[in-house]
Chain A
Amino acid sequence: DIQMTQSPPSLSASVGDRVTITCQASQDINKNLNWYQQKPGKAPELLIYDASNLEKGVPSRFSGSGSGTDFTLTISSLQPEDVGTYHCQQSDKSPYTFGQGTKVEIK
């Protein structure tokens, strides 16, 4: 199975800060990487697919980049409503595996 490693496990940042979360795959997954946001007590929601494509309705302060084994999710200006846990997921090979998540809080 492909292992997905996210870092950091958690972070605390101020409103307006630029936030970066990384995700590393244990083997080359091309651009087959998706990002989800999970607000407390809610189901995950798709943010970005195929490494860099913004899902409809997602604010433009979110962006994704990377290919191969190394990927990044960036929030250009953190907002209070961005609090939650962010998960990466590889869609290259079954079983489709997720990272352990990055919890984002407001300082």
Chain B
Amino acid sequence: QVQLMQSGAEVKKPGSSVRVSCQASAGTFNSYTISWVRQAPGQGLEWMGRIIPVIDVANYPQKFQGRITITADKSTTTAYMDLSGLRSDDTAIYYCAREPIGPYGVTALFDYWGQGTLVTVSS
């Protein structure tokens, strides 16, 4: 059974950093990437980037470059998302999601999601 288990809720001060973890079931890292998607209160979903664990490469959209780092520990099948320079508009639920790697590469569809981690940024 596919599982993506995320770490617990966080409360952070503006300007600080947060790390959210996502432990995947065994075998996930061989054929899938892990993406991070966030959802601010009452808002839509926003893709923040991915890690391709089998080649240890991360991709980030321009909006988050310089503020986000996504890594993966293959020994524990755990992915991490570090976000720095937190602002109040970073308050959101952060999801990790599994993305299949197809015959032509990444597919950018998310077939399993973690339960979500609420990050609250407040002074």
Contacts and interface: CB of A to CB of B under 8 A. Distances in A.
Nearest to B45: A98
A94 B59 contact: yes
Interface string B62-76: 110000000000000
Interface stretch (A11-19, A43-51, A62-70): A43-51
A19 B59 CA distance: 37
B115 A87 contact: no
A87 B113 contact: no
Interface of B: prevailing SS: loop
Contacts of B88: none
B95 interface: yes
Contact of B47 (A49, A50, A96, A100): A96
Contact of A91 (B45, B61, B108): B108
Contacts of B44: 87, 98-101
Interface residues of B, number: 20
A44 B47 contact: no
B30 interface: no
B122 to A, nearest CB: 21
A44 B113 contact: yes
Interface of A: 1, 32, 34, 36, 43-46, 49-50, 55, 87, 89, 91-92, 94-101
